[in-house]
Amino acid sequence: MKHYSLSPQLHSDSDFKLTKYSDTYIFNCMMDFQKLAEYQIKLAQMMRDHNQFHNCLILCDQAMFSMAKAIYVHRNKIIPLYIRLSVTDLFPLIHTEAEPNLDMVLFIGTVHYLVSGEDDVSKEPMKLGEVDKLLYKTDSILGTLSQRIVADPSKRYPSIYKENPFNESLDLLSIIPDAF
């Protein structure tokens, strides 16, 4: 079985062609991935409310990868049949010269590592404060990544921490004990 890189320039097979789509299809695909990330983070918040902390961790990981897929579609202007991003694919997608976000890549990679269960550390029970920090950081990352792909603020990812009708952010440091 062949492993195709996500970068179309790296393919050597002449029969491997990616279909080009109109800007409308590209935009709709990006928005679908962004909406998927929004659903996943809302579900993660529900899991947190029901003390399902490991499920919350998994959903945060999936939400960040969904938004990374939206960036992939935006940057490459293609809609592949199947997008499977690895942690190494994240670095060139998220960390750019214009917007160096190494800490964001490291956070996403760490969450992904914890979800993989390759270490005994991932089996330790999480505390509510840690889960709250996870949700807050994930929400922040989703908002930052959404700004890269959607120019219209009304179509960007809506934070789960913005609950009032005036869209003012809550003072999370007062909500999350020992936040930072």
Collapsed DSSP state (helix, strand, coil) of residue 78: strand
Smallest Cα–Cα separation from 36: which of 65, 73, 56?
Answer: 65
Q: What's the pLDDT tens digit per position in 53-71?
A: 999 999 999 999 999 999 9
Q: What's the pLDDT tens digit per position in 98-130?
A: 777 888 999 999 999 888 877 766 667 889 999
Per-residue pLDDT of the chain (180 residues; tens, 9 = 90+): 343 444 444 444 444 445 566 788 899 999 999 999 999 999 999 999 999 999 999 999 999 999 999 999 999 888 877 788 888 888 888 887 777 788 899 999 999 988 887 776 666 788 999 999 999 999 999 999 999 888 888 899 999 986 543 334 444 444 444 544
Smallest Cα–Cα separation from 44: which of 179, 161, 177?
Answer: 161
How far apart CA 35 and CA 41 sit, in angstroms, is 10
